[in-house]
């Protein structure tokens, strides 16, 4: 019985409460740079390499990889879109494109391919000279493909 009372005393102590709070805060910080979830089971990871202004560059480079969220296998022939520009993933799931001209806007990107749910990022700012690694993890779409003209 004395062990239970000792445990209860420790749990009620303010030091224990502070310790739990610090563990919770620290664990939240560890999630930075991890998979950003979306409306489906897929998600994306983004890493932005910012131009420090040392050299003048009038473009933004977007590159990354597209993978299956369940198997982690590369997805070929997937499209990544930014406004009217598109890039297609290669056999190893990699894609890359360059946005020419002075770019200083907030925008979003979309990844899509047949057999997978379309994934759209949240808005984020791109500035001329930035390089952005944007990896997509797409969720398979098991819904049947229907053609409305057959009815």
Whole-angstrom Cα distance, residue 122 to residue 90? 24
pLDDT per position as a tens digit, 32-66: 457 787 777 789 999 887 766 655 577 888 899 99
Higher pLDDT, 110 or 15: 110
Whole-angstrom Cα distance, residue 110 to residue 130? 19
Whole-angstrom Cα distance, residue 53 to residue 40? 38
For the full predicted model, state whether its pTM sits above 0.75: no
Distances (CA, A) of 117 to 120, 136, 141: 10, 11, 5
Higher pLDDT, 91 or 97: 91
Decide: 66 and 80 in contact? Cβ < 8 Å.
yes
Q: Could you give phi then psi for residue 16, rounded to 5 degrees? A: -65, -40
Q: Could you give phi then psi for residue 102, rounded to 5 degrees? A: -70, 115
Which pLDDT value is given to residue 29? 32
Which pLDDT value is given to residue 9? 65
Decide: 77 and 88 in contact? Cβ < 8 Å.
yes
Report the range of poorest mean pLDDT among 23-27, 70-74, 106-110: 23-27
Confidence class for position 18, pLDDT limits 50, 70, 90: very low
């Amino acid at each position: 019985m004395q062990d239970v009372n000792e445990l209860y005393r420790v749990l009620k102590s303010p030091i224990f409460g502070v310790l739990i709070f610090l563990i919770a805060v620290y664990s939240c910080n560890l999630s930075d740079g991890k998979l950003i979830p979306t409306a489906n089971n897929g998600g994306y990871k983004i890493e932005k390499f910012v131009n420090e202004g040392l050299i003048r560059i009038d473009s933004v480079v977007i590159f990354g990889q597209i993978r299956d969220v369940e198997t982690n296998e590369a997805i070929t022939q997937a499209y990544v879109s930014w406004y009217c520009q598109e890039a297609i993933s290669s056999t190893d799931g990699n894609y890359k494109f360059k946005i020419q001209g002075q770019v200083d806007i907030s925008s979003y990107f979309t990844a899509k391919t047949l057999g997978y749910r379309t994934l759209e990022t949240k808005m984020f700012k791109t500035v001329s000279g930035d390089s952005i690694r944007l990896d997509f993890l797409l969720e398979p779409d098991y819904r049947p493909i229907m053609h409305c003209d057959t009815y």
